[in-house]
């Protein structure tokens, strides 16, 4: 389908994929772009990318994907994104009780990094607690029992929520229109019949508003099957647990600059956010899927409160991760527990 640079384009969803699409459409010269999102502000609370941080790592088993991630890290170092990229490194390990499957996965990622000359010089092996504490001084009093793996200084994390906000402000200043809240709560795509089937002619909101466009880009993540039912089981609405530790100003300062720390059998965490003093943790696992038993199609929650909890098994796993890595917080309660 050919679209002229002046023709209106609608993007449904103001999360990572929606805003990334905006950036690239602007760079390609498109002039009439509108983003609709049901939240009142960007970053949207419905976006999985509305978060303190996301891991940014380059090592992947697929060479094509690995090359893409290296280029992505280069993009994170450009003016729009650089304030939100923290190249603190990636401490990638398994614990002493990890199953063989976790160790095998770790070794495949390590081999992928070692094969790539762009990453090879940034790698160092971690075979003991001493290796870990030598790499990260903040861990000198931590046990890390049986941990082994590698440290990749090429990697880090992004403050994804702040990155979304920056894109929103920058693209709005360039003329992109944002329709938020009830006026941007899209309920369906409106089609018209053609000789070959049908084509989109716009979207309709829950309040009955209609926005016309011959090109509708759906970027609503896990909620995609509700707007495009034909996706069916091809799209899986999956979530993982997230929890946080609330630190003091001094505790946050003491952990400034620690790498993303990851045991494949336990979970991972990031350096604390200096603005909120929140340290984010996530357990490893297969995630959770909300599947309709009648259709087999999975759906995202319709109310944010539905996912505001941490399953007991994941809480125990995160508690063990904290005991092994940050023993000073072993009894600190978790806050802001949710499924993301």
The yes-or-no verdict on residue 171 having pLDDT over 80 is yes
Please give the average per-residue pLDDT across 12-24, as a whole number: 97
| Residue 27: C-alpha distances to residues 10, 31, 127, 134 (Å) | 16, 10, 46, 44
pLDDT at 105: 97
Question: Do 144 and 248 sit in the same domain of this protein?
Answer: yes
> What is the chain's mean pLDDT, rounded?
96
The yes-or-no verdict on residue 185 having pLDDT over 90 is yes
**Tokens standing for residue 300:** 């995202």
**Is residue 62 included in any domain, yes or no?**
no
Question: Do 136 and 253 sit in the same domain of this protein?
Answer: yes
Sheet of strand 123-126, all strands in order from the earlier edge strand to the far edge: 123-126, 148-152, 90-94, 260-263, 267-269, 278-283, 241-246, 334-339
Q: Residue length, the chain?
A: 340
Note the pTM of the prediction, 2 decimals.
0.93
Task: Calculate what percentage of the chain has a pLDDT beyond 70.
Answer: 100
**Domain termination residue (choose one: 232, 248, 279):** 232
In sequence order, which residues have a C-beta less than 8 Å from that of residue 86 and are 6 or more positions away? Answer: 53, 156, 157, 158, 159, 271
The yes-or-no verdict on residue 1 having pLDDT over 70 is no
pLDDT at 302: 81
The Cα 84–Cα 160 span in angstroms is: 7
DSSP state letter for 205: E
**Is residue 1 included in any domain, yes or no?**
no
Biggest CA-to-CA distance, the chain: 71
**Domain termination residue (choose one: 232, 261, 289):** 232
Higher-pLDDT residue of 197 and 269 is 269
8 A C-beta contact, residue 73 and residue 40: no
The Cα 114–Cα 152 span in angstroms is: 10
pLDDT at 210: 98
**Is residue 79 included in any domain, yes or no?**
no
CATH for 284: 3.30.9.10
The Cα 258–Cα 89 span in angstroms is: 8
Question: Do 262 and 137 sit in the same domain of this protein?
Answer: yes
Please give the average per-residue pLDDT across 169-195, as a whole number: 97
Residue 222's domain comprises 9-50+161-232
pLDDT, tens only, 264-304? 999 999 999 999 999 999 998 888 888 888 888 888 888 88
pLDDT, tens only, 92-133? 999 999 999 999 999 999 999 999 999 999 999 999 999 999
Count of domains in the chain? 2
The yes-or-no verdict on residue 263 having pLDDT over 90 is yes
pLDDT at 300: 83
CA angle 242, 245, 246 (to 5 degrees): 130
**Tokens standing for residue 249:** 């100003």
**Is residue 98 included in any domain, yes or no?**
yes
């Amino acid at each position: 389908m050919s679209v002229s640079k002046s023709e209106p384009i609608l993007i449904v969803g103001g999360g990572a994929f929606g805003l990334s699409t905006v950036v690239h459409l602007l760079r390609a010269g498109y002039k009439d772009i509108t983003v609709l999102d049901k939240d009142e502000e960007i970053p949207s609370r419905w976006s999985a990318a509305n978060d303190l941080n996301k891991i940014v790592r380059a090592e992947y088993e697929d060479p094509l994907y690995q090359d893409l991630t290296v280029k992505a890290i280069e993009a994170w170092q450009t003016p729009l994104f650089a304030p939100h990229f923290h190249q603190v490194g990636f401490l990638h390990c398994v614990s002493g009780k990890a199953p063989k499957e976790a160790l095998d996965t770790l070794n495949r990622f390590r081999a992928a990094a070692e094969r790539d000359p762009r990453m090879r010089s940034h790698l160092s092996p971690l075979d003991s607690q001493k290796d870990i504490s030598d790499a990260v001084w903040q861990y000198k009093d931590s046990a890390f029992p049986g941990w082994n793996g590698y440290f990749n200084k090429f990697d880090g994390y992004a403050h994804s929520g702040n990155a979304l906000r920056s894109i929103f402000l920058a693209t709005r200043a360039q003329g992109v229109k944002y329709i938020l809240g009830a006026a941007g709560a899209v309920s369906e795509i409106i089609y018209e019949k053609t000789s070959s089937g049908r084509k989109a002619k716009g979207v309709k909101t829950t309040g009955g508003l209609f926005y016309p466009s011959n090109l509708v880009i759906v970027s609503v993540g896990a909620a995609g099957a509700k707007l495009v039912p034909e996706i069916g089981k091809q799209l899986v609405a999956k979530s993982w647990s997230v929890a946080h530790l609330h630190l003091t100003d001094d505790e946050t300062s003491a952990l400034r600059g620690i790498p993303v720390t990851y045991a494949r059998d336990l979970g991972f965490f990031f350096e604390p956010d200096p603005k909120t003093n929140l340290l984010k943790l996530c357990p490893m696992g297969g995630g959770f899927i909300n599947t309709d038993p009648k259709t087999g199609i999975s759906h995202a929650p319709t109310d944010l409160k539905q996912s505001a909890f941490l399953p007991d098994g994941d809480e125990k796993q995160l508690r063990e991760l904290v005991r092994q890595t940050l023993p000073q917080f072993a009894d600190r309660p978790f806050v802001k527990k949710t499924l993301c």
